[in-house]
């Protein structure tokens, strides 16, 4: 791919979402082994869905398509937030880990919502 096709790498929202996905992957390494195909997999897929939907939408033609993928990313982020809350309730992540991940997901959410509304207004 050339630089024009990879222009999504310059988006602040994508960089934040990518960092959050990496943080989620690190945090879930310590989840119980019997959750590998349960909450671990679900949380990782949802977290990875946020930056990948930004990439896919940004790589499409037109704001309408971009908005559709950003909407999907917002839904995936909501899923991440709930699954983090659920994981904390089960004791899979500590209060401090939850705080860091929750703050990061809120930051992604604010930027993603701002980007989504800007695209929808075009």
The band of 7, judged by pLDDT with boundaries at 50, 70 and 90, is: confident
**For residue 116, what pLDDT band results from cuts at 50, 70 and 90?**
very high
Question: 3-class secondary structure for 40-95?
Answer: HHHHHHHHHHHHHHHHHHHCCCCHHHHHHHHHHHHHHHHHHHHHHHHHHHCCCCCH
| Mean pLDDT over the full length of the chain | 94
Q: Output the pLDDT for position 1.
A: 44
Model confidence pLDDT, tens digit, residues 19-75: 999 999 999 999 999 999 999 999 999 999 999 999 999 988 899 999 999 999 999
The predicted pLDDT at position 79 comes to 98
Position 4 confidence tier, pLDDT thresholds 50, 70, 90:
low
- CA 106-74-88 angle, to 5 degrees, is 50
CATH assignment of 7-121, given 1.20.1440.60, 3.40.640.10, 3.30.428.10, 3.40.190.10? 1.20.1440.60
Residue 3's pLDDT is 55
How many CB atoms within 10 Å of residue 112?
A: 24
């Amino acid at each position: 791919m050339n630089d024009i096709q990879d222009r999504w790498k310059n988006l602040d929202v994508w960089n934040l979402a990518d960092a959050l996905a990496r943080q989620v992957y690190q945090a879930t390494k310590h989840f119980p082994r019997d959750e590998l195909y349960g909450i671990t997999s679900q949380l990782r897929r949802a977290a990875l869905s946020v930056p990948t939907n930004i990439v896919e939408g940004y790589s499409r033609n037109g704001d309408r398509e971009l908005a559709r993928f950003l909407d999907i990313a917002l839904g995936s982020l909501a899923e991440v937030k709930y699954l983090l809350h659920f994981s904390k309730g089960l004791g899979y992540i500590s209060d401090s880990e939850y705080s860091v991940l929750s703050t990061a997901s809120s930051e992604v959410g604010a930027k993603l919502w701002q980007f989504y509304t800007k695209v929808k207004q075009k």
